[in-house]
A and B are shown apart, each in its own frame.
Chain A
Amino acid sequence: MDLLEIRNLHAEVGGNEILKGIDLTVHPGEVHSIMGPNGSGKSTLAQVLARRESYQVTAGEILFDGKDLLSMKPEEAACEGMFMAFQYPIEIPGIGNAHFLRSALNAMRKYRGLDELDAIDFLPLFREKLKLLDMDERFMNRSLNEGFSGGEKKRNEILQMAILEPKLAILDETDSGLDIDALRIVAQGVNAMRSPNRAMIVVTHYQRLLNYIIPDFVHVLVDGRIVRSGGAELALELEEKGYGWIETEARQTAPASA
C-alpha cells in the first residue's frame, strides 16, 4: 500500500495560495527529495503534512497510511507516525531533553495501546541513539534546545526521529546552517534510519545534502507545483544549471489562470 498519497493539494497561508495542485505518492522504504527555489512552497508542503493549523488546505486530499490525514490534529498525525525535523527547532526552557523525549515517546505508545516506558527502561534506548548520532550524554539533561548551537539543534531533531521511529520523516531544510562536519553526522544518522518500512521526504534548497543522503526520487517545486520529477541525477543537473531554466520552462507550460 502507499504510505502517502497526495492528490491535487491546494493550500494557503494568510490568504495567499502557496500550493497550487500537488500530486505525490510515496511508498515505504523510499526517500524523496523536494527541491525548489525560495518561495516555491517546499516548507508549506512540509507544514501541511505535519498538520500545522495556520496552513490551510483549500482543496485536495492526503491519505497517510490509508487514513485521512487532513482530519487529524498535529499530535494524531505524529502518533500515526508522521515526523517533521524542523528547520528552526524550538527552545523550551526548563524541560530536560530526556524527559521531553520520554514524554513524547510515551504519548505515542499510549496512542498505540502500548505500555509506557519508565525512566529506567528508556535510558538504554536513549544512550543507544545518542551513540548513533555521535552525541554527548550532556544532551540528556540539557533543557530542550535551549542554548544549543545550530548544529546541535539539528542533531537533536535527528535524535528525536531515531527515538520516535516514524513511518514517514520529513526533513525540512535540515542542512541549513550546518557546517560540513555537522552535515555529515546528521546525514549519517538519517541514513542509519533508512529502512524498508520507513519513508523520508527531504526538503532542501541545495543539492549538497543529497551527496550524503541519496534520494530515490527528486521533485522540483516551482510556484506551488511539482514541475519535474526524476532520479538522483536531477539534483545534480539542478546544481549545475540552477533553478532559472526550470522556472522559465514551468512558466511557459503553466495554466494562465494560476
Chain B
Amino acid sequence: MGSSINTIRDLTEQDYKWGFVTAIEDERIPRGLNEEIIRLISAKKREPEFMLEWRLRAYRYWASLEKAQAEPKWANVHYSPIDYQNIIYYSAPKQKPGLKSLDELDPEIRRTYEKLGIPLAEQQRLAGVAVDAVFDSVSVATTFKDKLAELGIIFCSFSEAVEKYPELVKKYLGTVVPHTDNFFAALNAAVFSDGSFAYIPKGVRCPMELSTYFRINAAETGQFERTLIVADEGSYVSYLEGCTAPIRDENQLHAAVVELVALDNAQIKYSTVQNWYPGDKQGRGGIYNFVTKRGKCAGVNSKISWTQVETGSAITWKYPGCILQGDNSVGEFYSVALTNNYQQADTGTKMIHMGKNTRSTIVSKGISAGHGQNSYRGMVKILKGAVGARNYTQCDSLLIGDQCGAHTFPYIEVKNASAHMEHEASTSKIGEDQLFYLQQRGLKLEDAVSMIVNGFCKQVFRELPMEFAVEAQKLLGVSLEGSVG
C-alpha cells in the first residue's frame, strides 16, 4: 500500500487557508495576570460592581489552584507547561466607541469576515443566520438584532448583556459552570472579555439560527469568551458556533466557557464547527482549546443537544455535557473529532441524570490520522433519584495509517437500579480493500478517503443544520491533509 499512502498524502495536502492575519490596530493590556489586570479588564468594560466581584472571586480561586499546581493533568494530552504570566489577557480592535451600524465596523475586520464567508451584512438576511462575531477579545458586530428584538429575543455580546440586562446575567451566570468547576473555567471567569448572550422568551421559537463566529487575530493573546444562552419555558433555539485563527508558531490558549439553561419544555440545539489553527505538520504552533461547555435541563421535558465537529486546534480538551435535572429531560451529544499530524484531542461528554425518566444519547466518532491522538472520555452518571433513566452510548474510532492512536475512557456510575444503559464501541481502519474498491469504480484516492470518512461521520452530520453539514464535510476533506502514514 506504500505508494497509495504517498498518493493520499500528496493529494490531500492542503494548507490551512484561514491562517491569514488582519492588519488592524489593536488595544492591549500588559501581559500577565494579577488582581490589577482583572480590575483593568473590568474597568475597560465599564462593568458593574457585581461583575468585578465575581471575577475577583474566580481569580483568587484560580490563583490558589495555580499555586497548588492543580492544572488538570488527567487528560490524555501532552504539552509543555503554560506560562500564564506570559499571556496577554485582553486585546481589542481599536474602534470608535458605540458602533451605530455595521457600516461603521473597521473595514479590515469586515474583510476578514468576508474572507471567512460569514454573512455579517444585514442584506444577507436570506442566509437566515444571525451572527455575533467575536474578534480577539471583544464582540464586534451582532446582526439581526432588531428583527429578533421584535420577538423579545435578546441576542447580543456578553458586554452588552451585562450593561443592559444585568438581572438576567446575574441570575444565570455561573449557575451551570461555576468558577470552581475546574482550572480553566476559573481562569475564564476571571478574565473573560466578551462572548455572546442569548435569551429566548417564553413560548418563542427562534425563527433563525443564531450564530457566533470567533476569530483570534492578535499574537500572544489568549481568547477567553463566555457564552450564556437561556431558553425560557417552551422556547426553542438553534445556535451555531464557528472558530478560526491565523497561523502562528507559538501556541495560543483558548479557554472558553459555554453555559446553557433550558427551562420547562424548552429546547436548545448547539452546534460547533471548531477549526482553530491546528499547528503545522511537525506539530509546531496551534491553539490549545481548553473549553468547558455544559447545559442544564433545568425544567421538565426540556432538551439540550450538542453537536460538534472538531477538526482544528493543536490540543482539544472539551466535554460538552448536560445536567438532566428536570423530569423527562433529554440530553444529546453528537461528536466528530479529527486529529491529524500531531494534533491531540481528549473530548467527550458528561451526562448527569438527576430527574425521573431522563434520557441521554451519546454518539462519538473519532478519526485519527498522521500522528494524531484521539481520546473519547465520557461520563454517564445516574443519580439516586433518576428513576427510569436511560443512556445510549456509541463511540467509534477510525484509524487512518499506523502512526496514530485512538483511546476510549468511558465512566459509568449508576446509583439507581432502574436505569437502562447501553454502550457500544468499535475501532476500525480504512482498509486498502475499501480504497481499491472505490478506485475501481472511478473515484480518485482522496475522494475515496473522504467518502469513507464522511460515511463514518454520517450519524453526526445529519444532526447539523444543512449549511453547516455541507461546510463540515468540506472541512473534513481539507483537514485530512497528510493523512495515512
Contact = CB atoms under 8 A, between A and B. Distances in A.
B444 A75 contact: yes
Contacts of A52: 436
A152 to B, nearest CB: 16
Secondary structure type dominating chain B contacts: helix
The listed residue with most B CB atoms (<10 A of its CB), out of A73, A94, A108, A160, is A94
Interface in B424-477: 431-434, 436-445, 447, 451-452, 454-459
A211 to B, nearest CB: 28
B437 A89 contact: yes
A75 B442 CA distance: 4
B440 A94 contact: no
A198 B440 CA distance: 18
A89 to B, nearest CB: 7
A164 B436 contact: no
A54 B1 CA distance: 7
Contacts, number: 76
Given A54-B432, A90-B434, A92-B434, A78 B455 contact: no
A53 B6 CA distance: 13
Interface residues of A, number: 30
Interface in A110-136: 111
Interface residues of B, number: 26
A53 B434 CA distance: 13
Nearest to B443: A107
A95 B455 contact: yes
Nearest to A95: B455
A92 B452 contact: yes
A191 interface: no
A74 B440 contact: yes
B4 interface: yes
A107 B4 CA distance: 19
B436 A94 contact: no
A105 B441 CA distance: 8
B282 interface: no
B3 interface: yes
A160 B432 CA distance: 20
A158 interface: no
Contacts of B3: 53
A83 to B, nearest CB: 8
Contact of A103 (B434, B436, B451, B458): B451
A206 interface: no
Interface in A65-102: 73-75, 77-79, 83-84, 86, 89-90, 92-95, 100
B459 A104 contact: no
A75 B434 contact: no
A88 B344 CA distance: 36
Given A94-B456, A95-B451, A95-B454, A86 B437 contact: yes
Interface of B: 1, 3-4, 431-434, 436-445, 447, 451-452, 454-459
Given A73-B439, A104-B442, 7 more contacts: A75-B439, A78-B442, A79-B442, A94-B457, A95-B458, A107-B442, A107-B444
16 contacts: A50-B440, A53-B1, A53-B4, A54-B1, A75-B445, A77-B440, A78-B440, A86-B440, A92-B434, A92-B451, A94-B455, A94-B458, A103-B451, A105-B442, A107-B444, A108-B442
Interface of A: 50, 52-54, 73-75, 77-79, 83-84, 86, 89-90, 92-95, 100, 103-105, 107-108, 111, 143-144, 160, 164
